[in-house]
Amino acid sequence: MRLLDALGHALAISGSMTWEILWALIFGFALSAVLQSVVRRSTIMQRLGDDRPRTLAIATGFGAVSSSCSYAAVALARALFRRGASFTAAMVFEIASTNLVVELGVILAVLIGWQFTAAEFVGGPIMIVLLAVLFRLFLRQRLLDAAREQSEKGLPGAMEGHAAMDMTVSEEGSLWRRLGSRQALTSVSHIFVMEWAAVIRDIAVGLLLAGAVAAWVPDSFWQHFFAVDHPLFSRVWGPVIGPIVSLLSFVCSVGNVPLAGVLWNAGISFGGVVSFVFADLIILPILAIYRKYYGTRMMLFVLATFYATMVAAGYIVQFLFSALGLVPTTRDANVAATAIHWDYTTVLNIVALVLAVALVVRFVRTGGMPMLKMMGGTPGEEHDQHDAAAPSRLRPT
C-alpha cells in the first residue's frame, strides 16, 4: 500500500503540472507553427556560410522560429553544416532553436515565473556570444575538417526524418498574404502535429520525472545538495551543478521545465535554473549523437564549450537580475498536486484543446498521417504529401 500511495502521489503531482501548463503548451506550439510555416529552409541555408556577427545573429533569429525538439534541432544543424553553413553558425542555430523558442518562454512563465522567461531570453544571446568567442579562440581547422569528414558519412541520429521535412508555405507573396492562405492553415496544422509528435515523449518523461522527484526526494536532500544554508556558496554552486543534473536527467527541450520548477522549489539558485534549462543540448543521448555526427573529439569539444558557456551565462544572468532586483524572493513554482477547479486555467485549457483538435483534424484530412511514419526516416529521401492542396513537399533540407 505504501508503494501504491507513493506512486499515486507522484502521478498526482505530474497530473497537476500537466493541467497547469497544458494550455501554454498548445498555444506555444501553435504560435511556433505559425512562425515556422513562413520561414523557408532554403533561405536559412543561403545565409549561414560564415561566422561573422551578422551571420550568427541571423542564425539566432532563424533558430528562434524553428523546431523546439532538441533531436530535430541537432539533426538540422548537421544538415546545415553539410550544406555549407559554418560550424559555429550551425551550433548557434541549434542553441537558439531549443532555448529561445516561444513555447519554452510561455511554459517557464506559467510554471515558474515570468522572471525565468526573461532570464532565458537574456541568457540565450549571452551564451551564443560566449560560444562564438570560444569557437573563434579554440576551434582548430584540423578538428573542423575531421568533423566535416565524419558528418559527410551521413550516419543517422534521431528525428532525422522530422528535421528533413520542409513544411513551409510554398505560395509566393507578402508575409500576410501567405499567412492568410488555405495553405498556411494546412502548413500550421502539419507543423503543430509533427512538433508534438517529436517532443511528446520528452514532455511526458519530464513531467513524470518531476513528479517523482517532488514526491519522493526529501527536501533535506536538496537543501544539502544545493547548499541552501550557505547563500553565497549556493549562488556559486548552482550554475555549476545545474547542467550536470540536466545531463544526467535524459530529458531535453521543453520537457525539462517541470523538473526545473521542482529544483527551484528545492533550493537551487536562480542562475542554476537558467543553466539547467540551457543544458538540454548536452544530455547523454544527444552527446552520443554528436559523437556519431562529428566524431569523439568534436563531441568532447562541444560538451566542454557548451558547458562552459552555460555556466557562464548562468552566472551573468544571476548577477544581472540580482542587481536589478528581478530574482524572485519566493519559491512557489506550480509543481504541487492540486485539485482541478473552474478557473482561468480550466477555461484556457478548454479553448486550447478545441484549437488542438481542429489542427489535428486538418492534419489528418490533408494527408498528414503518412508523415508520422517518416519522422525517423532517411533525410535523403524525398516524399510528397498526398493532398494536392498541401502547402509544401517533404523535401530534404
Q: Report the pLDDT value the prediction gives residue 391, as an integer from 0 to 100.
A: 42
Q: Report the pLDDT value the prediction gives residue 275, as an integer from 0 to 100.
A: 96
Q: How far apart are the first and last CA of the chain?
A: 53
Q: Which residue has the cell 581547422?
A: 141
Q: Report the pLDDT value the prediction gives residue 368, as an integer from 0 to 100.
A: 80
Our CA angle for 112, 34, 81, nearest 5°, is 90
pLDDT digits (tens, 9 = 90+) for 50-83: 889 999 999 999 888 876 678 888 888 888 888 8
Q: Report the pLDDT value the prediction gives residue 134, as an integer from 0 to 100.
A: 97
Q: Report the pLDDT value the prediction gives residue 397, as an integer from 0 to 100.
A: 38
- Which letter does DSSP use for residue 49 in this model? S
The series of mean pLDDT values per 10 residues for the chain, 397 residues long, is 79 87 85 75 71 92 80 84 90 91 88 94 96 96 94 75 64 61 82 84 86 87 92 94 88 82 92 94 90 95 97 97 94 76 86 94 87 60 38 40
Q: Report the pLDDT value the prediction gives residue 128, as an integer from 0 to 100.
A: 96
Q: Report the pLDDT value the prediction gives residue 369, as an integer from 0 to 100.
A: 83
Q: Which residue has the cell 526573461?
A: 118
Q: Report the pLDDT value the prediction gives residue 379, as an integer from 0 to 100.
A: 47
Cβ density class 35-47: b for 16+ within 10 Å, e for less: ebbbeebeebbee
Query: Considering only CA atoms, which of 50, 242, 248 is closest in space to residue 127?
Result: 242
CA atoms within 13 A on the CB side of 335: 29
Distances (CA, A) of 22 to 144, 184, 191, 259, 349: 42, 24, 18, 16, 6
Distances (CA, A) of 86 to 92, 190, 233, 315: 10, 30, 39, 28
Please state the pTM of the whole predicted model.
Answer: 0.82
Query: Considering only CA atoms, which of 241, 231, 243, 199 is closest in space to residue 26?
Result: 199
**CB-based contacts of 370: which residues, under 8 Å, 6+ apart?**
383, 386
Query: Considering only CA atoms, which of 337, 298, 269 is closest in space to residue 147?
Result: 298
pLDDT digits (tens, 9 = 90+) for 354-372: 999 999 999 998 888 887 7
What are 383's strand-pairing partners?
Answer: 394
The 3-state DSSP class for residue 37 equals helix
Q: Which three cell numbers stand for residue 28?
A: 506555444
Our CA angle for 114, 116, 118, nearest 5°, is 70
Q: Let me know: does 259 contact 272? Beta carbons within 8 Å.
A: no
pLDDT digits (tens, 9 = 90+) for 316-346: 999 999 999 999 989 988 877 667 778 888 9
Our CA angle for 157, 47, 290, nearest 5°, is 20
